[in-house]
Chain A
């Protein structure tokens, strides 16, 4: 495995965020589509090194929130700060520069189907005009990280859903971003493949300590992330001993465009909110 190599800053991005500053600040954000409110007065913040799991039923506005954070769509009101920069008022050309520090895994992978796996993963490095030998080396490293180094010459339609999702993760982490956005990385996958993907998320969290937001509507995936760790000695994901919980993992629960819960795993489990209790059961 190439844990160290993935952790290495072969392609460092801009400046590392100040450890004390929040990486993402969402402040009173609302958005409507066709007059229908999708998100209403959403406010929360994500600190450096934190893994924020966004839970909630389908259609609750989770993916919209993720796109808003990456500046792919603009809110009707409110402000979103990413690395201290307001993405709601930035020009698209400035957003492209900011996005060099953000990796995003899309719900349906969104791989470029006319490019090979290697070219998909190397897309960002090719755009940065990185030397070809360096690109090749780095592509091999990240594909090894997701256990897909044998698929370099294949095209996305030749891969299974789980493999496509892993390629998408490799593409998102190739430049060691400071923030990773996972939009339902396990959506539509079988339980075994989902566990493989969640293991990758845990591995990325524990090896690189990258700030991340992960959308899921599968409770078992969310709690697996919160209750597991990556053991660098055995190179495997294992449960945290004595029923422990990862401190850097926090939860945000959305329902019908509103925040129902914002806090730690412990607080979520012991919440007395009737809807939340019902949802978690």
Chain B
């Protein structure tokens, strides 16, 4: 990579932030004017939402299993193994469900968006779309954004549910706990604020996955090597953003709900 002066480097970074902000703003606001591509939104919902279900379910389920096993070891020291349900439910709903689902969907879909749009960019298909009178942001980015935000919300609920189910399986089969008491404790542990916190995070994560994936796709340069670079950057940047925003949302929610 060639060395550039700090001034040029700073200008490039600021230009990139500006470009990302403009793309995100237009992707959000495009839905308020015609033409709207609902068929593309449904196609993306199927591809992003239904397509990500297996990895989200598996990740949630096994995370719940491991969480139950790990927490039971510590809780045993205090004679509180029966509280495993509380711990699994709280951890899954507030933190692990949203974050792991976000990271999994980011790995699968931010990369997919960056490579798909990036390939279109380097083969002049994006220019061809513009030449044919179609706005690529409206046709490609907006459907992906709304589909990701909408589907990630439900994928997170699915992940939470399978995580709690995984914890139940381990608690009943390996720790000898009563299933009814596990689910009762899980339910009792969750307050309104916890659920709101857990379901607010995927809205932000969905936005990050789609906008970052599409941004790197739309700014791809340098042929197939450039597509590979964009794909990697999209996953890295969106994953890091998801974790940073998770911290900010958690802090804000604690401020609002006090837990």
Contacts and interface: CB of A to CB of B under 8 A. Distances in A.
A and B interact: yes
Interface of A: 67, 70, 72, 92-93, 95-97, 99-100, 102, 104, 106-108, 110-113, 123-124, 127, 171
Contacts of A96: 130, 133-135
Contacts of B127: 67, 72, 106, 110
B125 interface: yes
B124 A100 contact: no
Given A110-B123, A113-B123, A100 B128 contact: no
How many residues of B sit at the interface, in one of the four size bands? 10 to 19
B131 interface: yes
A67 B135 CA distance: 16
A110 B130 contact: no
Contacts of B131: 70, 72, 99, 102, 104, 106
A267 B131 CA distance: 33
A92 B128 contact: no
A92 B131 CA distance: 11
A113 B120 CA distance: 9
B222 interface: no
Nearest to A128: B133
Nearest 10 Cβ contacts at the A-B interface: A110-B128, A110-B124, A104-B131, A99-B133, A96-B133, A100-B133, A124-B132, A106-B124, A127-B134, A110-B125
Interface in B133-188: 133-135
A127 B124 contact: no
A93 B26 CA distance: 12
Given A108-B123, A113-B123, A127-B35, A99 B128 contact: no
Given A96-B135, A111-B128, 14 more contacts: A70-B131, A92-B130, A92-B135, A93-B135, A96-B130, A96-B134, A97-B133, A99-B130, A99-B132, A99-B133, A108-B124, A111-B125, A112-B120, A112-B129
A97 B35 CA distance: 13
Contacts of A70: 131
Contact of A112 (B35, B125, B135): B125
Contacts of A124: 132-133
Contacts of B135: 92-93, 96
Nearest to A112: B125
Contacts of A100: 133
Contacts of B125: 110-113
A225 to B, nearest CB: 22
B132 A123 contact: yes
28 contacts: A67-B127, A70-B131, A72-B131, A93-B135, A96-B130, A96-B133, A96-B134, A96-B135, A97-B133, A99-B130, A99-B132, A100-B133, A104-B131, A106-B124, A106-B127, A108-B123, A110-B124, A110-B127, A110-B128, A111-B125, A111-B128, A112-B129, A113-B123, A113-B125, A123-B134, A127-B35, A127-B132, A127-B133
A69 to B, nearest CB: 11
